[in-house]
Amino acid sequence: MENDDNRRVVIVIGAGPAGLAASIGLAQIPGYSVELIEKRTTFEKRGASFGLAKNGLKALSEICSGESYEVVNQLKEGGVSTPNGGLLLPWWEMRDTLLEGVRKEQSNITIRMGMDICSIEDEKDDSQ
């Protein structure tokens, strides 16, 4: 699928930490834009604590690179360091920090709230 700018559109389902991080990473690839689909209509501050291992912090540093991203520093400020170099923080804080990064990519990421995905059909594209 392509949009009006001839960019390929990638659909990411779910605006939790994984979907948000994937959207940020994909939006940085030249020629791609992201449609981020979320079932809920609002982002609420609820959920359990979230453990982020040292390698998870490294992955976020790579995905959320560039001057406009302070994701890892923001998470370190709001989280509790673990002995192995990871972080423990509220789930919603992780999500909100990544959501801020998604909103910085407004030209490449569209968030669609309140949408349920009932089925996905794959149409074969013979041109590739």
User: What tens digit of pLDDT does each residue of 7-53 get?
Assistant: 899 999 999 999 999 999 898 889 999 999 999 999 988 878 889 99
- Residue 115's nearest CA partner among 23, 36, 20, 24 is 36
C-alpha angle 127-107-128 in degrees, rounded to nearest 5: 10
**Does the structure show a pLDDT above 80 at 91?**
yes
pLDDT at 128 over 60: no
Q: Do residues 38 and 112 make contact, with C-beta atoms less than 8 angstroms apart?
A: yes
Q: List Cβ neighbours of 37 (8 Å cut-off, separation of 6 or more).
A: 11, 12, 13, 14, 15, 112, 115, 117
What percent of the chain stands above pLDDT 90? 48
**Model pLDDT, residue 23:** 92
With a threshold of 0.85, does the pTM exceed it?
Answer: no
Give the three-state DSSP class for 12.
strand
